[in-house]
Amino acid sequence: MILIALLALGILIILQLLYNVLWHPLKAYPGPTTAAASRARITYVTITGQKSVWLQNLHQRYGPVVRVAPNELSYMKHEAVRDIYGGAHANGHLLNDDIVFAAFENDKATILTADEDTHARFRRVFAQFFARQNLTAFEPLFNKYCALLVRRLETTEQNAFDIAELFSFTVFDVMGHLLFGQSLQLLEKSGCIDWARGQPGWIRASVTAAALTEFPIVKGIYQWLLRAAIQKPRKRYFDFANQLMRQRLHKDVHDPDLVAFATSLPKADRISEEEVTLNTPILMLAGTETISCLLSSLVADLLRHHNVLQRLTAEVRATISDPSFISIADVRKLKYLDACIKEAFRRYNPVPEILPRVVGPGGILVAGRWVPGGTRVYVSMYATSNASEYFHNADRFEPDRWLEDPHGLYAGDCRAALQPFSVGKRSCIGQDMTYYTLRLLMCSLLWHFDISSELDVNEWLSGQKAWEVWRRAPLLVRVEQRTSS
C-alpha cells in the first residue's frame, strides 16, 4: 500500500516537473531547465544566502529576464522597476508572505502587509515623520549619537573595532530615540545588545522558513512542528519592541518622537496607538539593518581604494568647520561624499532584490513582454546595478561616475538603473533619513580619525551572503586620531 502511494506520488512529481518545463505559461522565458522544473534550486540558494549572486550569474548567462523558478521571473532591466513597482498597472501587492513579515496571530497587519487603504493611512503618517522637512527637528538627536560614537572610538584601548557593529549600534540608538523616545544605550553601555544582535538571526530564520514552506509537504511539517521554534526569536524581537513602546506610551518625553508626532496630527490623519506599536518593529528593522549594511560596505571599499579615501577625507575636513554639530545643510555640500555613497549603493545595495510582487489575474506587460497573472516578479537590483550594460567598468568602485562630467568616462552610464529604494506607492519612506545618517556618520568618522585595516577586505566583500539584506562579517578597522588637516 505504502509502495503504491509512493509510486503515485513519484508519478505526480514527474508529471508536475514535465508540465513546468514543457507546458507552463512561462515556458518561453529563458533560464536553466532545473530552475524551470522545480523550486529546489532557488530554495537552496535562498537558504544558503547565495541567491543574489546566483541571480547575477543567471542574468549574465541568460539575459535581462530569467525564469528562476517555475512561477518566478527575475529582471535585470531598469524599465522593469517602473513596470513592476511604479507603473499605472503595477500590482501594488506585496507577496503575501506570512512568515517573513506578516503580523503574528491576532495582530493586525503592518505597513508591509496591510490592505491598500490601511497601507495608505500608515504610509501617510510614517512618510511624513521621516520626511526631509521633519528631519531638521532631529538634527540635535543625530548629532548626540554621532558624538557618542566618536567618544567610544576615542576612549577605547582596543586595537581594532568591528566598525560594522558600531555603526549598527549608532543607528539602533538613533532609531530607538525616534521610535520609543528613549536611548537604547547601545553605544554607552551596550544596553539592549542581545536584542540588536538578534535581528539578523531571526531575519535569516524567517527567510529560510519562508523558502522551505513553498513546498506543500514542508509547509505541513512547519505548521505542526517548526513554527513555534522558528518564530520564537522573531517574536522575542517584536515583544521587546512592544514593551519599549508601552513604556513610551506611559511617559512624557521632551524630544520629538514618533508618538508625539502621530498624536499631533489632525484627527482624520491619525492612526491608533495600537497601530503605531504594531509597526515599530518593522520600522526598526527597515531603518537599522539597511543603513549599517551600506555604511560598512562603503568603509570596506574605501579601505581598498586609498586615493578615494584620501580625497574624501580631505573634502570632509575642508568643508566641515564644526564637527560637534553637523546639519543636513552642511552635509549636502559634500559632493564627493555623495558620489562615494551612490557608488556604494550601486555596488552593494543593502536590499539586493526589491521585494517581489505577484502579478494580478489579468497579467501585465513588463519591459515590453507579457507576464501572465499569478507570476511572482521582482527586480534583482544587485544584478542590475552591477551590469556592464548600464555602467562602464561596472565591477570597479568608481565614485567619479556620479560627478557631473558630461564628457567624462562615465557620461554614458545609465544612472536610472540604480533604484535602491524602489519606486511607486510602496517605495522606501526612509530615503531622506538614510542620506542624512550616512553622510553624518561618514563625516564624523573621517573628520576625527584616520582609518586603516589589516583585514583582507577583498575577501570580506566577496564572502558576503544575503537573506533579504546582506549579512556582514565583522569589519575590523583600526582608528587613530587624525594627524593631518
**Contact residues for ligand HEM (CB under 6 A)?**
85, 111-112, 123, 126, 130, 283, 286-287, 290-291, 294, 350-351, 354-355, 420-422, 426-430, 433-434
Residue 183 CB, nearest distance to ligand HEM (Å)?
Answer: 17
- What distance in Å separates the CA atoms of residue 333 and residue 328, rounded to the nearest whole number? 9
Beta carbons of 91 and 419 less than 8 angstroms apart: no
Nearer to ligand HEM, 24 or 346 (CB): 346
Residue 293 CB, nearest distance to ligand HEM (Å)?
Answer: 7
Nearer to ligand HEM, 82 or 234 (CB): 82
Nearer to ligand HEM, 31 or 256 (CB): 256
- What distance in Å separates the CA atoms of residue 447 and residue 153, rounded to the nearest whole number? 13
- What distance in Å separates the CA atoms of residue 350 and residue 415, rounded to the nearest whole number? 18
Residue 260 CB, nearest distance to ligand HEM (Å)?
Answer: 16
Alpha-helix runs per DSSP H in 163-215 = 163-180, 186-189, 193-212
Nearer to ligand HEM, 42 or 178 (CB): 178
Nearer to ligand HEM, 71 or 419 (CB): 419
Residue 427 CB, nearest distance to ligand HEM (Å)?
Answer: 5
Cell 528593522: give the residue.
Answer: 285
Residue 397 CB, nearest distance to ligand HEM (Å)?
Answer: 17
- The cell numbers describing 1, all together, are 500500500
Residue 100 CB, nearest distance to ligand HEM (Å)?
Answer: 13
> For residue 161, what are the β-bridge partners?
477
Q: How far is CA 51 from the centre of its chain?
A: 15
Nearer to ligand HEM, 218 or 355 (CB): 355
- What distance in Å separates the CA atoms of residue 394 and residue 346, rounded to the nearest whole number? 9
Nearer to ligand HEM, 233 or 424 (CB): 424
- What distance in Å separates the CA atoms of residue 288 and residue 184, rounded to the nearest whole number? 13
Cell 544587485: give the residue.
Answer: 382
Beta carbons of 320 and 312 less than 8 angstroms apart: no
Residue 91 CB, nearest distance to ligand HEM (Å)?
Answer: 11
Going from the C-alpha of 453 to that of each of 162, 184, 193, 343, 433, the distances in angstroms are 11, 29, 25, 21, 29
